[in-house]
Amino acid sequence: MTPVLELFPPGAAVAEGGDLVVAGCRLRDLAAEFGTPAYVVDEGALRERAREYRDELGARWPDALAIFASKAFPCTAVLRAVAEEGLGCDVAGAGELVHAVAAGVDPGCIYLHGNAKTDEDLQRAIDAGVGTVVIDNFDDIDRLERLVRGEQGVLVRVIPRVRPDTHAAVATGQDDSKFGLAARDARRAIERVRGSDRLRLDGLHVHIGSQILDTAPFARAVQALAALGEFAVYDLGGGLGARYTWADHPPTVGEYLDVLVGAAREHLPASARLIVEPGRSLVARAGVTLYRVITVKRGPRTFVAVDGGMADNLEVSLYGQRFEATVADRVGGGEPVDLVGRHCESGDVLSAGVALREPRVGDVIAVPATGAYCFTMRNGYNGARRPPVVFVRDGDARVVVRREGYADLLRLDT
């Protein structure tokens, strides 16, 4: 029982009678009230993790800011919670910017990313007063010089030639990355921006990927920035991995920041401002997805099929990410089964070979560590209705994103 509990939000426990409880709420009760599939977020755990990043970074570097990589969970309520704890956020396009503005994030602490920013993306950012645009290519410079009427702060994204040990789809710091500029081109971009009367060069940005469980590549990326000179701001990106299974052992926030800030002290000017961009590692553990078992099929393999799948958790099919799971009132242990979704793809598998205790039709299944990239990649495959987001805290539950209705599936028809 203990290993799987460690993957749920801090404080999760098994109540008398066997029910799994998160933030004072029985998960079976939440499934009954809000339906399934449903994304459940422990608001207290989310806020605590944001404060941990804020405080641990501030204790190590005098002028520093943590900004949430909103693509990990671009939900207005999530952005509002982390902003209230003192974090900024980064956005990759106008859609994420809309959520950040609605959440009340200080525009000066919003950073606009993207390898293919459109005129609309940039104009909306300028109109919203976004503090920093991260330049990814020379076309960004051309567009900004055409659109900006006053002065716009920018960073130049640099390819550090660092390839971390992670899935190829989420590695971004290697030579052939579609993101950023190689050192020679970065120097050209720096000179162009310095010569602009509308763009203010604040510094450099680097990001080497996601779900990284080793700290050494982060230090190498910092060293690569130092070769380009001294600047007022260094955005060191994010990428710290989350714990999805009990076999995963990601560094703690403190261990990660010790390496990152240690490299900054060695290679960067002490007067500079440091930015870090936690995403997955900030929100993953705060999230739990609830499903209900629809059928159990026994044969050479035992399939436990639920009422969700790749429409609400695409990470398994897309990245091969491993998730654990448990029956919500029979926690931990049991027989190995394939927990599968309801969608018409053989690849619609939520967790292969996961242990479930006596699974049967009607059971509520809880999948931990789903706070990152599940909500953001939800989709309408097979006409699936996108699940709600339910915040839980101190025994109370509230819907912050409603479930799609069938009428919503037709709302854009003309």
25 is catalytic: no
Residue 242: other Cβ atoms inside 10 A: 23
| Pairwise CA distance, residues 414 & 404, whole Å | 19
Q: Give the integer Cα–Cα distance in Å for 396 and 398.
A: 7
The H-assigned helical ranges of 109-157 are 119-128, 138-147
The pair of structure tokens assigned to 2 is 């203990």
Contact residues for 52 (Cβ-Cβ < 8 A; gap 6+): 253
| Residues near 137 by beta carbon (within 8 Å), at least 6 away in sequence | 115, 181
Six token digits for residue 292: 């209900």
Q: Are residues 50 and 60 in contact, defined by beta-carbon separation less than 8 angstroms?
A: no
Q: What is the distance between the alpha carbons of residues 252 and 299, in angstroms, rounded to a whole number? A: 42
| Cα–Cα distance, 40 to 365 (Å, whole number) | 12
Q: Which of 283, 274, 225, 219 is nearest to 58 (CA)?
A: 274
Phi, psi of 339 (to 5 degrees): -85, 115
Tokens (6 digits) for 109: 């602490």
Give the max Cα distance, the chain.
Answer: 70
Beta bridge partner(s), residue 296: 304
Length of the chain: 414
- For the chain, state the CA radius of gyration: 22
Beta bridge partners of 21: 13, 26
Q: Which residue type, as a one-letter code, is found at position 349?
A: V
Tokens of 207: 């990001």
75, 109, 344, 374: the active-site residue:
344
Helix 253-267 / helix 43-60 crossing angle, nearest 10 deg: 30
Of 379, 400, 402, 404, give the one whose Cα is nearest residue 78. Answer: 400
Question: What is the rounded distance in angstroms from the CA atom of residue 256 to the CA atom of residue 251?
Answer: 6
Could you give the residue numbers annotated as active site?
344
